[in-house]
Structure 1
Amino acid sequence: MSGYIPSDLDHPFFKGIITNPTPITADVTLFSHEISYYSGGGGKGPWNEPAQSVPMLFAAWESLREEISLAFKIRDKALITSAMRKGVGLFLHVLFWSNGQPVSLASMPGSCGLSVKPANCRDRIQFLIDRPDLFHSFIQLGELMDEQYKQFQVKLAKVTKNR
């Protein structure tokens, strides 16, 4: 699939990540399942089992948070931008998979009818995309992850209660 980007994943902020996928952890490579899904690979994606897949994404965030923090400590702007792009991509995975959907960059959050999401999600993501190299963006990304974690836990509790 070298070079092919499905229209649902075609977004300039993520082009390098999508065309040259790099693993966040051994278990998480951004957009790999979505590329297969949107390219006609079909199958059952991890977003169909959010209770199993989303905790793995939150675990990946812990190691990526350290990488981003280190990039800010050494003040390497290229490394900061690269790591923050991965961080925003990881957040979008958490956001969409929490809602049982594959990531779709064509319908960015806020306009895609997601029910489990942080307040002002669309504006906050746009801030991260517009200014990935600001330390405040890193703080904002951490807050989005924390808020999504809480929202996801509430969703899981409701699902468990209704069984």
Structure 2
Amino acid sequence: MLDNHSAEYKVPEAFLVAPFSTKRTTFKMVDIVNFEDIIRKEPFYFDMLHLASNQPCEDPPWKNSEVAVKAVIEQWKMLKPELQTSYAKRKTNLQVESASIQSISLFLLALFWSNHTPIKSLHVKDMMVSELNQKPVNCEERLLFILNKPSGYHSFIQLQQLFDELEKNFYKTLAIQRLKQKKEITANE
């Protein structure tokens, strides 16, 4: 923390990665209460705060992944039509770049938080995607492809497929967990 009064933190080096934020060196403690607004304005806020702060965040989103990942998926579903329209109208890469980077950020949140872990780096090689239990097939290679040209149409298609696979796995895992809990409850009665 840089200053106790302003609650400003240094952006962890692992988050100063292209195409994500590379110009900012600090971020501020947010006073926004709405979770969706936070991830829309500063997608990696909770993950950066986890690394930059001496005090861990109370109730981080990866500890309550059922609620957090659902909210992230909803954000993606709101952004996706905008990107589809942009590609259909053949808008330039600059016009879709911001929405593309936001979408990639949301995928990373959903990927890590569904595995109950924060993002520790935006460098794909340092993400340790292979160690995650829940992940789409060939996730690391596909992420590298997407990040190589984030606003490209083929990257968008790949991202869409990654989100679809992750969402299916996420809800399947939730259903299995609920079934196990239900069996445990009935076994204990």
**Same fold, TM-score > 0.5, yes or no:** yes
Residue aligned with 2:129, SS: coil
> Which residue is equivalent to 1:85?
101
> Which residue is equivalent to 1:61?
76
1:78 CA displacement = 0.7
CA 1:151 to 1:18, structure 2 compared with 1: closer, same or farther past 3 Å? farther
Residue aligned with 1:11, SS: coil
One-letter amino acid of the counterpart of residue 37, structure 1: H
CA deviations over 1:9-60 (Å, ceiling 9, x no partner): 2322212597698xxx536330111122111241221110011111111110
RMSD between superposed Cα atoms in Å: 2.5
- Percent sequence identity over aligned pairs: 28
How does 1:111-150 map onto structure 2 within 5 Å? Answer: 111=130, 113-150=131-168
TM-score (norm 1): 0.86
Runs of 4+ in 1 over 4 A off after TM superposition: 16-21
Flag the structure with more relative contact order, 1 or 2, with Cα contacts below 8 A and sequence separation at least 6: 1
Larger radius of gyration: 2
Matched, 1:10 2:16: yes
> Which residue is equivalent to 1:28?
39
One-letter amino acid of the counterpart of residue 84, structure 2: S
Moved more, 123-132 or 81-90: 81-90
Residue of structure 2 aligned with 1:95, choices 104, 111, 115: 111
Moved more, 80-89 or 137-146: 80-89
Give the conservation status (yes or no) of the 8 Å contact 1:99–1:116. yes
CA deviations over 1:97-122 (Å, ceiling 9, x no partner): 000011222532534x1000000000
Aligned counterparts of 1:141 and 1:17: Cα–Cα separation in 2: 25
Give the conservation status (yes or no) of the 8 Å contact 2:62–2:114. yes
Give the conservation status (yes or no) of the 8 Å contact 1:57–1:90. yes
TM-score (norm 2): 0.75
Matched, 1:76 2:95: no
Moved more, 143-152 or 126-135: 126-135
CA deviations over 1:98-148 (Å, ceiling 9, x no partner): 00011222532534x100000000000000000112211111111000000
Residue aligned with 1:115, SS: coil
CA 1:141 to 1:150, structure 2 compared with 1: closer, same or farther past 3 Å? same
Give the conservation status (yes or no) of the 8 Å contact 1:47–1:96. yes
Gaps of 5+ in 1: none
Matched, 1:155 2:173: yes
1:88 CA displacement = 0.7
One-letter amino acid of the counterpart of residue 79, structure 2: L
